[in-house]
C-alpha cells in the first residue's frame, strides 16, 4: 500500500531510512511527495525523535520568479547548495533520484563504489557493471522480478574491510524501451510514473521488492561479475574473461577508485579473485535470465 | 546585533574536547557546517588527535573526508614533482606558496587541507620562460581569454592566467607577486624572494612570510566561502610558529617591511576573537597602532565577523548577505584604483549584457 504523503511529510519534510543512509528530504512539490511515497512504500520513514542525524539533507524546490509561469523548473539542493542546474518541473522526482546518487558517490569514501547493479541468490551476488545502455538496470529489474534479491541497480557498495557487498535498495531506474519490456516481463511489478524528455529519454522506476527492502542490512559475498551488453537481434553469447581484465574494467566503472588509491586497488582485486567473470551479450531477456539461473544452480 | 553563541564549528575548532558532550542532532549540524566550511577533514584529524570517539553515523562523514584529504596529499606531491621537473629544464626553481608549501614543510596547517590549484612564485623576469616550460609539459591556459582579459592579466595582475594540465586536469597559478600590481599596498616581491627558505630541496616563503601571505590573501579576498578555513589556517600557523624565538616581534616588523600591517592586524584580531588563538595582548595592541581608526574597525568587525562564518544557513543572520557583498566590493576597491576599476567593471558589465561573457 502506498504511504500517504500527508502522514510522512511534516512541514513538507520527511526523513527516510535508505540503508545504510538516512536521507532528509524537503519538498513542497506534490509529484515528489507522491512518487516518493509510492516507490519507497516498503522503506521506513523515521519520526523526528528517531532521526536526529541525517546523512544527506536534500531539498527539491520550484525555481521562483518569472520561471514560475514560463516553463517552470525545479532545483536540487544539497544542504542549501545547488550542485546542478535546474531541470524542467516535470522531472522533479527523477531529479531527487539522480541527486541522491551524486550525494552518495561524492561524499562516501568509506566504501568502494562501482557503477553497477547487484542482485543475489542463496548468499551469492552477481555484480552487473555497465555503461548506460548496456542493459544493467533492465537485467537487474528482470532478475529482481524472478526471485533474486535486489541490492542496488546503480551502485555496488563494497565494504573495505570484509569486501562484502552492502545493499542500498532503491527503486530501479528504467529507460525508454526497457520500461514496457519490464512491465511485460514482470507483470506484478509496481511501476511509478513515466517521466518524458529527460536527458536519458523516458524514465520510470520500479518499486523494489519488499523482501529486498526488508533485508537491506544483509551484506553478501560477490560470486560473479557479468558485464552485460544488449545487442538487438543477437543470440546470447557468454565469454569468460580473466580476473585482470575484469579488474581493469571495474576500475573504469568506479565512482571513487581514484580516491581510495592503493586500498581501492587491493579491495577490487580481492573482490574479483573470489568471482567468476563473464561478458554477456544478449537480446532476449528470457535467454539472459536462464543464463543467470544456470549460474545459481 | 550578532548572535550570542557562535556556530558550533567555531566552538569545536577552539575546543575540540567539547565533542564529548555533543548530542546526535548537534553532530548533524556540525558535519553540515564543517563540510560547507571545507573543514570536515581537518576537524576529523583534530578530534582524532584528542582521542575523541565520534558516533558511527557522523564518523562516516569525517572518515570519508579524511580519506579524501590523504589521497589529495599523495596526488599533490606527485604534481609538485612534475612541476619541478618541467621547470628544471629551463633552470627555474619556483617558490611554492600557500597549500602546497604547507604540505612540503609538513606544517600543522597541511592537515586535512584540500585545494584546487598549486601556486608558485617566480621572479618576474622568469615568467615567460616558466610559462613556456610548463606549456611544453602540458599545462595550457584553462580558459580562452580575449585580448582585453589578456592585457588585464599581463599588465595589472600578480599572476598569469591559470594553467591546467591537459591530461590530469590539475591547475597551476604562476605568480610573480602576492598581490596585484595595481593594489594600493603591493609588496616588493624582491623582498619576499630574498627571504625564501630551503625545505628538503624546495623553496618556500619564510615561516613569517607564509603567515603574512596567508593574511594578505584572506583579507584582500572578495569571496569568503572558505573564509573560516583560511582563518583556521592562520590560527594553526600562528600556534605552530609562535614557539620560535622573537616570533611576534619579527612578524610585526616584517609586516611593516612588506607594507602589510593592515591584513596582519585583521588576521591577529579575528583569529584571536573568533578562534581564541593565543596572541599576546601587547602584540594585539602594537598591531592595532598600525591599524585604521576606531570607527573603521567597528565597521570591519560587523562585516568580517559575519563573512568569516561558514556559508551555511545555520550561521547567517539578516545582515550576512550585505556583509558579504560589501566585502566583495571592498576587495575590488583594494585591488584597483578607481580610474582603472570603473572602466573595468563597466566593460565587464557591458560584455555580460551582450552575452559575450559568462563570469
* pLDDT at residue B292 in the model: 65
Q: Is A120 found in the same domain as A35?
A: no
B346: DSSP letter: H
β partners of residue A226:
A278
CB A202 within 8 A of CB A255: no
* pLDDT at residue B1 in the model: 40
Taking the C-alpha atoms of residue A247 and residue A253, their distance in angstroms, rounded to an integer, is 10
Confidence label for B29 from pLDDT (cuts 50, 70 and 90):
very high
Answer whether B63 sits within 8 Å of A110, measured CB to CB: yes
B358 within domain boundaries = no
For chain B, state the CA radius of gyration: 21
Q: Is A284 found in the same domain as A187?
A: yes
Taking the C-alpha atoms of residue B30 and residue B89, their distance in angstroms, rounded to an integer, is 48
Residue with the three cell numbers 596585484: B180
CB B288 within 8 A of CB B265: yes
Taking the C-alpha atoms of residue B119 and residue B101, their distance in angstroms, rounded to an integer, is 9
What is the dihedral sign for C-alpha A246, A252, A254, A259? positive
Taking the C-alpha atoms of residue B198 and residue A201, their distance in angstroms, rounded to an integer, is 58
* pLDDT at residue B4 in the model: 58
To the nearest whole angstrom, how far is the Cα of A53 from the nearest Cα of chain B? 5
What is the interface pTM, i.e. ipTM, of the complex?
A: 0.93
Q: Is A176 found in the same domain as A229?
A: yes
Average pLDDT over residues B156-168: 86
Residue of A nearest to B30 (CA): A53
- Side-chain half-sphere of B9: how many Cα atoms within 13 Å? 28
Out of B32, B68, B74, the one facing A109 most closely (by C-beta) is B68
Percent of chain B exceeding pLDDT 70 equals 95
The order of strands in the sheet holding B139-141 is B139-141, B163-165, B171-175, B117-121, B95-97, B202-204, B197-199
The closest of B329, B226, B215 to B271, measured between CA atoms, is B215
Contact B324/A at CB under 8 A: no
The DSSP annotation for B194-212 comes to HT-EEETTEEE--HHHHHH
β partners of residue A165:
A158, A220
Q: Is A242 found in the same domain as A205?
A: yes
Q: Is A266 found in the same domain as A164?
A: yes
Q: Is A276 found in the same domain as A253?
A: yes
Burial level of B246, CB count in 10 A (0-12/13-18/19+)? Answer: exposed
Q: Is A167 found in the same domain as A86?
A: no
Q: Which three cell numbers stand for residue A90?
A: 516535470
**Residue B19 contacts by C-beta under 8 Å, 6 or more apart in sequence?**
B12, B47, B50, B52, B54
- Per-residue pLDDT tens, chain A, 297 aa: give them: 678 888 899 999 999 999 999 999 999 999 999 999 999 999 999 987 777 899 999 999 999 888 888 889 999 999 999 999 999 999 999 999 999 999 999 999 999 999 999 999 999 999 999 887 788 999 999 999 999 999 999 999 999 999 999 999 999 999 999 999 999 999 999 999 999 999 889 999 999 999 999 999 999 999 999 999 988 888 999 999 999 999 999 999 999 998 998 899 999 999 999 999 999 999 999 999 999 999 887
- Phi then psi for residue B80, to 5 deg, are -60, -40
Contact B167/A at CB under 8 A: no
* pLDDT at residue B150 in the model: 78
C-alpha pair distances (Å), B209 with each of B128, B241, B307: 25, 11, 25
B192 within domain boundaries = yes
- Looking at the predicted structure, is the pLDDT value of residue B358 above 60? no
Confidence label for B357 from pLDDT (cuts 50, 70 and 90):
low
- Looking at the predicted structure, is the pLDDT value of residue B3 above 60? no
B3 within domain boundaries = no
**Residue A140 contacts by C-beta under 8 Å, 6 or more apart in sequence?**
A117, A118, A119, A128, A150, A153, A172
B281 within domain boundaries = yes
* pLDDT at residue A134 in the model: 85
B100 within domain boundaries = yes
**N- to C-terminal Cα separation, chain A:** 34
- Looking at the predicted structure, is the pLDDT value of residue B332 above 50? yes
Burial level of B128, CB count in 10 A (0-12/13-18/19+)? Answer: exposed
* pLDDT at residue B294 in the model: 64
Contacting residues of A for B71, CB less than 8 Å apart:
258-261
Contacting residues of B for A109, CB less than 8 Å apart:
63-65, 67-68
Q: Is A253 found in the same domain as A117?
A: yes
Residue with the three cell numbers 521562483: A64
* pLDDT at residue A6 in the model: 86
Answer whether A52 sits within 8 Å of B63, measured CB to CB: no
The DSSP annotation for B106-152 comes to T-GGGTT---SEEEEE--GGGHHHHHHHHHHTTEEESS---HHHHHI
Which residue of B33, B37, B68 to mutate against A (max A Cβ within 10 Å)? B68
Which residue of A53, A55, A256 to mutate against B (max B Cβ within 10 Å)? A53
Total number of domains in chain B: 1
CA A280 to chain centroid: 21
Mark out chain A residues that contact chain B at CB-CB < 8 A.
22, 52-55, 57, 79-81, 107-110, 258-261
Q: Is A274 found in the same domain as A139?
A: yes
Taking the C-alpha atoms of residue A227 and residue A205, their distance in angstroms, rounded to an integer, is 22
Q: Please give the residue range of the domain that contains residue B147.
A: 8-353
Q: Is A180 found in the same domain as A84?
A: no
Q: Is A115 found in the same domain as A89?
A: no
Average pLDDT over residues B58-77: 95
Total number of domains in chain A: 2
Residue of B nearest to A110 (CA): B64
Q: Please give the residue range of the domain that contains residue A34.
A: 5-107
Pairing of strands A165-166, B171-175: unpaired
Contacting residues of A for B55, CB less than 8 Å apart:
53
CB A242 within 8 A of CB A198: no
Average pLDDT over residues B204-223: 93
Residue of A nearest to B63 (CA): A110
CB A256 within 8 A of CB A105: yes
Answer whether B27 sits within 8 Å of A261, measured CB to CB: no
B238 within domain boundaries = yes
Q: Which three cell numbers stand for residue A239?
A: 565469454
Helices A285-296, A136-145: crossing angle, 10 deg rounding: 70
* pLDDT at residue B201 in the model: 93
Residue of A nearest to B28 (CA): A53
A84: DSSP letter: S
Domain boundary among A90, A107, A124: A107
pLDDT digits (tens, 9 = 90+) for B284-328: 999 988 776 666 888 889 899 999 999 999 888 888 888 998 888
Domain boundary among A80, A107, A134: A107
Answer whether A110 sits within 8 Å of B64, measured CB to CB: yes
pLDDT digits (tens, 9 = 90+) for B118-147: 999 999 999 999 999 999 999 998 777 787
The torsion angle over the Cα atoms of residues B8, B9, B11 and B13, rounded to 10 degrees, is: 170
Contact B32/A at CB under 8 A: yes
Domain boundary among A107, A139, A166: A107
Taking the C-alpha atoms of residue B229 and residue B14, their distance in angstroms, rounded to an integer, is 13
Amino acid at each position: 500500500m502506498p504511504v500517504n504523503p500527508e502522514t510522512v511529510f511534516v512541514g513538507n519534510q520527511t526523513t527516510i531510512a535508505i540503508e545504510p543512509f538516512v536521507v532528509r528530504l524537503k519538498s513542497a512539490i506534490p509529484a515528489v511527495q507522491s512518487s516518493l511515497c509510492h516507490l519507497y512504500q516498503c522503506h521506513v520513514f523515521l519520526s523526528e525523535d528517531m532521526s536526529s542525524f541525517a546523512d544527506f539533507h536534500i531539498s527539491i524546490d520550484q525555481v521562483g520568479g518569472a520561471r514560475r509561469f514560463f516553463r517552470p523548473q525545479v532545483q536540487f539542493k544539497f544542504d542549501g547548495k545547488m550542485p546542478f542546474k535546474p531541470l524542467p518541473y516535470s522531472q522533479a522526482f527523477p531529479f531527487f533520484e539522480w541527486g541522491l546518487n551524486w550525494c552518495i558517490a561524492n561524499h562516501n569514501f568509506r566504501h568502494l563504489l562501482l557503477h553497477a547493479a547487484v542482485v543475489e541468490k542463496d548468499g551469492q551476488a552477481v555484480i552487473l557493471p555497465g555503461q548506460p545502455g548496456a542493459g544493467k538496470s533492465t537485467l537487474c529489474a528482470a532478475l529482481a522480478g524472478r526471485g533474486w534479491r535486489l541490492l542496488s541497480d546503480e551502485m555496488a557498495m563494497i565494504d573495505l574491510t570484509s569486501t562484502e557487498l552492502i545493499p542500498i535498495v532503491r527503486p530501479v531506474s528504467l529507460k525508454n524501451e526497457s520500461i514496457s519490456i519490464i512491465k511485460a516481463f514482470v507483470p506484478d511489478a509496481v511501476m511509478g510514473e513515466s517521466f518524458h524528455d529527460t536527458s536519458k529519454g523516458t524514465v520510470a522506476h520500479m518499486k523494489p521488492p519488499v523482501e529486498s527492502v526488508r533485508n537491506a542490512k544483509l551484506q553478501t559475498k560477490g560470486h560473479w561479475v557479468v558485464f552485460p551488453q544488449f545487442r538487438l537481434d543477437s543470440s546470447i553469447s557468454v565469454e569468460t574473461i580473466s580476473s585482470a581484465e575484469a579488474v581493469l574494467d571495474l576500475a573504469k566503472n568506479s565512482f571513487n577508485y581514484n580516491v581510495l588509491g592503493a586500498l581501492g586497488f587491493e579491495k577490487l582485486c580481492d573482490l574479483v579473485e573470489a568471482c567468476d567473470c563473464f561478458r554477456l551479450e544478449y537480446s532476449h531477456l528470457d535467454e539472459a535470465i536462464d543464463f543467470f539461473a544456470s549460474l545459481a544452480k | 546585533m550578532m548572535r550570542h553563541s557562535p556556530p558550533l564549528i567555531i566552538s569545536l575548532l577552539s575546543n575540540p574536547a567539547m565533542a564529548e558532550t555533543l548530542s546526535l542532532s548537534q553532530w548533524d549540524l556540525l558535519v553540515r557546517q564543517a563540510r560547507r566550511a571545507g573543514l570536515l577533514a581537518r576537524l576529523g584529524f583534530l578530534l582524532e588527535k584528542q582521542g575523541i570517539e565520534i558516533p558511527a553515523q557522523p564518523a562516516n562523514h569525517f572518515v570519508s573526508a579524511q580519506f579524501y584529504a590523504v589521497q589529495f596529499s599523495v596526488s599533490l606531491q606527485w604534481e609538485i614533482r612534475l612541476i619541478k621537473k618541467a621547470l628544471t629544464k629551463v633552470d627555474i626553481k619556483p617558490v611554492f606558496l600557500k597549500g602546497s608549501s604547507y604540505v612540503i614543510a609538513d606544517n600543522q596547517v597541511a592537515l586535512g587541507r584540500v585545494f584546487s590549484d598549486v601556486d608558485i612564485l617566480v621572479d618576474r623576469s622568469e615568467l615567460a620562460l616558466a610559462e613556456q616550460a610548463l606549456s611544453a609539459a602540458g599545462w595550457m591556459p584553462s580558459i580562452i581569454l580575449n585580448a582585453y582579459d589578456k592585457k588585464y592579466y599581463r599588465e595589472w595582475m600578480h599572476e598569469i592566467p591559470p594553467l591546467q594540465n591537459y591530461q590530469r586536469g590539475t591547475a597551476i597559478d604562476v605568480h610573480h607577486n602576492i598581490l596585484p600590481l595595481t593594489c594600493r599596498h603591493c609588496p616588493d616581491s624582491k623582498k619576499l624572494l630574498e627571504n625564501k627558505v630551503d625545505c628538503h630541496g624546495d623553496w618556500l616563503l619564510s615561516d613569517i612570510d607564509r603567515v603574512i601571505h596567508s593574511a594578505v590573501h584572506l583579507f584582500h579576498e572578495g569571496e569568503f566561502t572558505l573564509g573560516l578555513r583560511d582563518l583556521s589556517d592562520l590560527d594553526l600557523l600562528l600556534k605552530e610558529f609562535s614557539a620560535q624565538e622573537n616570533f611576534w616581534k619579527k612578524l610585526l616588523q616584517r609586516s611593516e617591511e612588506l607594507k602589510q600591517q593592515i591584513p596582519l592586524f585583521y588576521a591577529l584580531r579575528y583569529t584571536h576573537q573568533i578562534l581564541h588563538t593565543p596572541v599576546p595582548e601587547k602584540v594585539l595592541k602594537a598591531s592595532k597602532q598600525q591599524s585604521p581608526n576606531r570607527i573603521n574597525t567597528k565597521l570591519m568587525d560587523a562585516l568580517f565577523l559575519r563573512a568569516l562564518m561558514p556559508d551555511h544557513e545555520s550561521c547567517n543572520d539578516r545582515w550576512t548577505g550585505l556583509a558579504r557583498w560589501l566585502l566583495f566590493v571592498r576587495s575590488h576597491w583594494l585591488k584597483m584604483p578607481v580610474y582603472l576599476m570603473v572602466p573595468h567593471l563597466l566593460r565587464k558589465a557591458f560584455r555580460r549584457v551582450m552575452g559575450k561573457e559568462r563570469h
